């Protein structure tokens, strides 16, 4: 049982779990997602019509494409054809194009490239990572803009902790 921020009402909210028995999102995030879900849900059925899923996801701050959403919906088990239940909406929010990776996950990813284990990467390598990897590949111009926001050491290296902080601030 949790309280919504917008109405202060107490609601019973069934939080979705993954295959390993871990919560997909924490209670606070689940409440935020539930409030968005209710904004777009059909008044009668209290279910989210498939044609409103993209707008609902974008309202949560995510930016999937229509194709991402269509493919994600196809992968869901549906009890009500044409609608997405709340637990499935949460599952869509935590897909690879959904929630941003945590700082620790990003740190682990950058450590793969950090052969010297210094916490720093060469500027050109960071640019290659930004334009060539991940689900949100940047253009050369976008990568240059990001790199200009970072402190570059005399040896041309960049602290990936600083890069992670910049990514999480966006």
Q: Which residue has the higher pLDDT, 162 or 24?
A: 162
**Helix, coil or strand: residue 88:** helix
Spatial separation of the C-alpha atoms in residues 110 and 129, rounded to whole Å = 9
pTM: 0.52
Query: Is residue 9 pLDDT above 80, yes or no?
Result: no
Write down the mean pLDDT value for the chain.
Answer: 79
Spell out the residues 6+ positions from residue 31 whose beta carbon is closer than 8 angstroms to its own.
2, 3, 4, 5, 13
Question: For 143-148, what is the mean pLDDT?
Answer: 89
More confident residue, 101 or 69: 69
Look at residues 141, 142, 143 and name the one whose alpha carbon lies nearest to residue 125: 143
In this model, does residue 133 exceed pLDDT 90? no
In this predicted model, what pLDDT tens digit does every residue of 70-102 receive, in sequence order? 888 887 877 888 999 988 888 888 865 555 455
At residue 164, the pLDDT reads 82
Query: What is the model's pLDDT at position 29?
Result: 76
pLDDT score of 157: 93
Give the residue-averaged pLDDT of 101-114.
72
Picking from 78, 88, 85, 89, the residue whose alpha carbon sits closest to that of residue 33 is 89
Percent of the chain residues past pLDDT 70, beyond the cut: 74
The pLDDT assigned to 45 comes to: 80
């Amino acid at each position: 049982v949790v309280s919504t921020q917008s109405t202060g009402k107490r609601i019973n909210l069934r939080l979705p779990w993954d295959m390993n028995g871990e919560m997909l999102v924490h209670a606070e995030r689940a409440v935020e997602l539930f409030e968005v879900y209710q904004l777009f849900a059909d008044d009668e059925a209290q279910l989210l019509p498939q044609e409103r899923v993209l707008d609902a996801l974008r309202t949560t701050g995510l930016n999937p494409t229509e194709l991402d959403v269509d493919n994600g919906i196809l992968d869901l088990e549906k009890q009500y054809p044409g609608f997405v239940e709340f637990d499935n909406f949460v599952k869509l929010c935590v897909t690879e194009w959904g929630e941003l990776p945590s700082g620790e996950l990003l740190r682990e990813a950058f450590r793969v490239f950090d052969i010297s284990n210094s916490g720093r990467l060469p500027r050109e390598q960071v640019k290659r990572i930004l334009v060539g990897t991940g689900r949100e590949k940047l253009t050369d111009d976008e990568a240059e803009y990001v790199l200009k926001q970072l402190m570059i050491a005399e040896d041309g290296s960049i602290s990936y902790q600083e890069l992670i902080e910049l990514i999480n601030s966006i």
